[in-house]
Structure 1
Amino acid sequence: MRILNIMSGGKAGGAETFFVSLVLALKSAGHESRAVIRSHPERAALIRAGGVEPLELPFRKWLDFTTKAALEREIAAFKPDVVMTWMSRASAICPTGDFLRLARLGGYYPIKNFQNCEHLICNTTELVDHVVKSGWPRARASYLPNFARIETAPTMARATFDTPDDAPLLLALGRLHPAKALDVLIRALAIETRPYLWIGGEGVLKTELEGLARELGVADRVRFLGWRNDKAALFGAADICAFPSRVEPFGNVVLDAWGYGKPLVAAASTGPADLVRDNEDGLLVPIDDAPALAAGIGRVIDEEGLADRLVAAGRKRFDADFTEQACVQRYVALFEELLRERQAGHRRAG
Structure 2
Amino acid sequence: MAGAPMGGAELFFERLCIAQARAGVTVQPVIRHNAERAARLRAGGVLAQQLAFGGRADLLTGLRLRRLLKHFAPRVAVAWMNRAGRMAPAGDWVLAGRLGGFYDLSNYRRCDHLIGNTRGIVRWLDEQGWPAGRAHYLPNFAVDIRHAVPRRPTVLPPGVPFVLALGRLHRNKAFDVLIRAMRHVPGAHLVIAGEGPEREALERLARADQVADRVHMPGWVDGTAGIVASCDVLVCPSRHEPLGNVMIEAFSAGRPVVAAAAQGPVELIESGENGILVPIEDDRALGAAIGAVLGDPAMAARLGAGGRRTFDTDYAEAPVLAAWHDFLSRVEKA
Q: Give TM class, smaller chain.
A: over 0.9
Correspondence 1:119-130 to 2 at 5 A: 119-130=113-124
Partner Cα distance (1:55, 1:228) in 2: 27
Shift of 1:150: 1.8
Letter in 2 for 1:61: G
1:257 aligned residue (243, 250, 253): 250
Partner Cα distance (2:300, 2:150) in 1: 19
1:318 corresponding residue in structure 2: 311
**Pairwise CA RMSD:** 1.4
Gaps of 5+ in 2: none
1:134 corresponding residue in structure 2: 128
Partner Cα distance (1:340, 1:258) in 2: 35
Correspondence 1:151-230 to 2 at 5 A: 151=145, 152-158=147-153, 160-161=154-155, 163-230=156-223
2:57 aligned residue (63, 72, 78): 63
Partner Cα distance (1:134, 1:105) in 2: 14
Partner Cα distance (1:11, 1:134) in 2: 30
1:113 corresponding residue in structure 2: 107
Gaps of 5+ in 1: 1-6, 342-350
Superimposed CA distance per residue, residues 224-283 of structure 1 (whole angstroms, 9 cap, x where no aligned partner)? 121234121111221110110110111112211110111001000011011100011100
- 1:83 counterpart = 2:113: no
Instruction: Give the TM-score normalised by structure 2.
Output: 0.96
SS of structure 2 residue aligned to 1:166: coil
SS of structure 2 residue aligned to 1:32: coil
SS of structure 2 residue aligned to 1:226: coil
Shift of 1:119: 0.6
SS of structure 1 residue aligned to 2:27: strand
Question: Aligned pair count?
Answer: 333
SS of structure 2 residue aligned to 1:34: coil
Instruction: Give the TM-score normalised by structure 1.
Output: 0.92
Shift of 1:304: 4.5
Q: Say whether the 8 Å CA contact 2:152–2:231 is kept in structure 1.
A: no
Partner Cα distance (2:256, 2:229) in 1: 12
Q: Say whether the 8 Å CA contact 2:229–2:250 is kept in structure 1.
A: no
1:346 corresponding residue in structure 2: none
Partner Cα distance (1:185, 1:42) in 2: 31
Superimposed CA distance per residue, residues 106-153 of structure 1 (whole angstroms, 9 cap, x where no aligned partner)? 111111211111111111111111112112111110111111112454
Q: Say whether the 8 Å CA contact 1:10–1:39 is kept in structure 2.
A: no
- 1:271 counterpart = 2:264: yes
SS of structure 1 residue aligned to 2:281: coil
Correspondence 1:229-240 to 2 at 5 A: 229-240=222-233
Partner Cα distance (1:52, 1:304) in 2: 43
1:52 aligned residue (46, 52, 56): 46
Letter in 2 for 1:72: R
Shift of 1:157: 4.1
Shift of 1:43: 2.1
Letter in 2 for 1:233: G
Partner Cα distance (2:277, 2:173) in 1: 15
Q: Say whether the 8 Å CA contact 2:100–2:243 is kept in structure 1.
A: yes
Partner Cα distance (1:193, 1:39) in 2: 45
Letter in 2 for 1:316: R
Identity of aligned residues (%): 43
- Runs of 4+ off more than 4 Å: none
